[in-house]
Amino acid sequence: YFALHEDELSYLVYDIQFYLYTNKERVRSTTEYLKIYPSIIAFGNGEFSTGGYGPSFVENWLKKRISHNQISEKPSRGLIFSKDFENEFMIKLKEYTK
């Protein structure tokens, strides 16, 4: 059992999920991402699922990333990490995987 909240490690997991999803699928809006999010982690039909989630935690994470220009909208790609934040994210991810 584990749960995601509004802490540094949970935000890293939200970032990983967003990064993986947006490298496969185009996300046209925050509303769209929040609508599909339950199938990404909480109620997916894969081997990995939390069985539930706190919608406000995910929404707050997304709003924070957008307000800090860490997630932006590109006309051809939809919502994606900004280049600067993607670089920061990769560095942080490498630190956790050492």
**pLDDT, tens digit (0-9, with 9 covering 90-100), for 65-82:** 999 999 999 888 999 999
Q: Give the Cα separation of 95 and 16 in Å (integer).
A: 14
Quote the tokens at residue 49. Answer: 């699922």
Whole-number pLDDT of residue 42: 57
**pLDDT, tens digit (0-9, with 9 covering 90-100), for 17-62:** 999 999 999 999 999 999 999 888 755 655 656 666 788 999 999 9
What is this structure's pTM? 0.88
Residues 20 and 36: beta-carbon distance below 8 Å: no
Whole-number pLDDT of residue 33: 96
Whole-number pLDDT of residue 14: 94
Structure-model confidence comparison of residues 27 and 1, the more confident one? 27
